[in-house]
Structure 1
């Protein structure tokens, strides 16, 4: 199976990267942080106009008519830019929730922590509920109590009751979230390498030191393995492949952000640096659609099922 990108796919990825660099660069990112994570409706509509949410809708239905492999390329770039908002849920809602495809509606989901979800006895957590017009897979918009979030760009609400995890969308949601994580992992490699080239110690860039070289090399391998797994799962759409991709991408995003902090040293822990934003977003995404524990259980079940016929023989 050939996983190399076509020329059209490469152009799509480059176009999305250029669009986000111009529309959601570092100044816009920092403005979002200062605004407390409030969603920019203007940006959301612009995403809708470019086909971000309608990417996989058929052209006859007003969509772009592309597939899941192209969607993961687009979401990878969104993860690289730390684009905020319930991107996955709104994308999945295109075609079912009025306005979602066009970006005039914001759709969130009960996607945190899988079926049970975190939140304790008081209910479960929902991201971006305050900005949402609908919740994926539910007939009405619930009310919730704001709670503190680890990520300043992902406001959370606690909603009473068990909620619905929109199980029909779970594999696609997990894969697109994995693409966001892979993009973040790749971006932190870039940040670490750039800083290692610029920061000097003992008269030379710190990137010349063996320990820093090894750290950056490990980050790159981790990110590329995760990206390859995401691309493969987008082609096969196999639940086990998706679970494996989510596991690898979550690990790459979290560990790469931590290693990037290590390369930056004390500077990385300051509010002015962007590294901590990647780490905090990676923590939240790791709890969305399919957690590590759920992915491991699914993969273990697949392996056990494959071993049983052999054992019976």
Structure 2
């Protein structure tokens, strides 16, 4: 079996990359280009594409570090809703919701696997400290409303798709970290030559490439199979690639990477934030262990 991208898929991928490399578009622009209606049927004014195409688009959004409730809004569109975010209720600690003032709905994944659609306006919350300043958090202080309970099948599907789309974001971020490290290694000179000529830097970049490609293949395969266990494994690989590549990118940049002016720190902070989103490492490992 050959997992080659079709011409239409390559065109979608390239079109998203060109749009996002011209500067981060506003939220309205992302709606206009159909990022959140890729999988909505054409009869409902969507594009009628599949999960694989959504993964390609979200990979490019991750590469560009697009801010906003991306995953939740895409899932909400498949349910006929608008702007939303997916939040998993933790076993311990507060419920943290990113981008709360920008949301209309919150998709709450409970500990028992059920999913509730809750209006954001009905939540009592206060700002919370966030690791990524461009991904602000709000802590829910009041009781969680009942909301609209999804069916068990829809809850399982939406949780798996949210995990996969977040993994796609991480794949894009891992590739971005690699590209930034290579570009810097080509231009930064030490001892009369680019630092990319040094073997230690070459090894760092080679390891980054291996992690990014392994994660990308796993995410693409999970998009085709839509298997929940494969999705959990893909999220683990994508998280590892994003976090480690961002750290290695910081290493390649050296002291410059630790300055506020350099964008490298944003890669690492966003990788940490997406690592904890929807299904974190512990949840994915538990899911795989239960399957085995």
Per the alignment, residue 153 of structure 1 pairs with 134
Q: Using the alignment, how far apart are the partners of 1:125 and 1:192 within structure 2?
A: 32
Per the alignment, residue 139 of structure 1 pairs with 118
In angstroms, what is the RMSD of aligned CA positions? Answer: 1.7
Per the alignment, residue 112 of structure 2 pairs with none
- Secondary structure of the residue that 1:283 maps to in structure 2? helix
Deviation at 1:131, TM superposition (A): 1.7
What are the ranges of 5 or more consecutive residues in structure 2 without an aligned counterpart?
108-115
- Secondary structure of the residue that 2:22 maps to in structure 1? helix
Contact 1:171 1:239 in 2 (8 A): yes
TM-score by length of 1: 0.84
Contact 1:117 1:125 in 2 (8 A): no
Per the alignment, residue 165 of structure 2 pairs with 176
Q: Structure 1 residue 223 and structure 2 residue 212: aligned?
A: yes
Q: Structure 1 residue 50 and structure 2 residue 33: aligned?
A: yes
Q: Using the alignment, how far apart are the partners of 2:193 and 2:260 within structure 1?
A: 26
Deviation at 1:97, TM superposition (A): 4.5
TM-score by length of 2: 0.90
Alignment map for 1:1-313 (pairs within 5 Å): 1-24=1-24, 43-98=26-81, 100=82, 106-111=83-88, 115-116=89-90, 120=93, 123-136=94-107, 137-141=116-120, 142-160=123-141, 161=143, 167-168=155-156, 169-303=158-292
Name whichever structure is richer in strand by fraction: 2
Q: Decide which moves more: 254-263 or 14-23.
A: 14-23
Residues 275-304 of structure 1: per-residue CA shift (max 9 Å, x gap): 11011011011111111111111112222x
Contact 1:125 1:159 in 2 (8 A): yes
Residues 207-258 of structure 1: per-residue CA shift (max 9 Å, x gap): 0000000000000000010000000000000011000000000010000000
